[in-house]
Amino acid sequence: MIIDLLSNAHLYFNQGPLFKKAFEYLAQTDFSNVEKGKYELDGQNLFAIVNEYDTVNPANEQMESHKKYIDIQYIVSGAERIGHEFLKGQTPSKAYDEEKDFMLFGEKPSFFSVIQQGMFAVFFPHDLHMPNIMIDAPAPVKKVVIKVAVK
């Protein structure tokens, strides 16, 4: 996993052309004018999901993981906590759904990070993550999740 400021995104262009394209999209787009929804950037190889929601209490949440896509989660406005853990052979509580590309895990995260406006987090298939968690109380967040196909 990677956690950084969007202003440092150029440091990760070496992850491949899809990463470069994803970070350029994030840097060049005024998301205040972008509605919630899915936006294709390179067909099914690279797409963005723009979402707005209120953060939630972690008590009923589970960590997730993906196989087909790497997540780049960018906070447009607001802030949230994201729980983390490494995938180390844990048994999923919800089996992998190939169509939706996710599985869930009942273990609690080993650690949490606060991701604020202008920051991003990258989660690879071996990174379990629990996003959308409130810091002190539920609060609104606008976030872009870019799905980068695993090659």
CATH number of 2-149: 2.60.120.370
pLDDT of amino acid 47: 98
Domain parsing of the chain, residue ranges: 2-149
Residue 93 DSSP label: S
Report yes or no: 3 and 114 within 8 Å, Cβ to Cβ.
no
E-state strands within the chain: 2-5, 37-42, 46-54, 63-65, 69-77, 79-86, 94-97, 102-105, 111-116, 119-123, 127-133, 140-149
What proportion of the chain, given as a percentage, has pLDDT over 70? Answer: 100
151 pLDDT more than 90: no
How many CB atoms sit inside 10 A of residue 84's CB? Answer: 19
Residue 95 has pLDDT above 90, yes or no: yes
Host H or E run for residue 80: strand 79-86
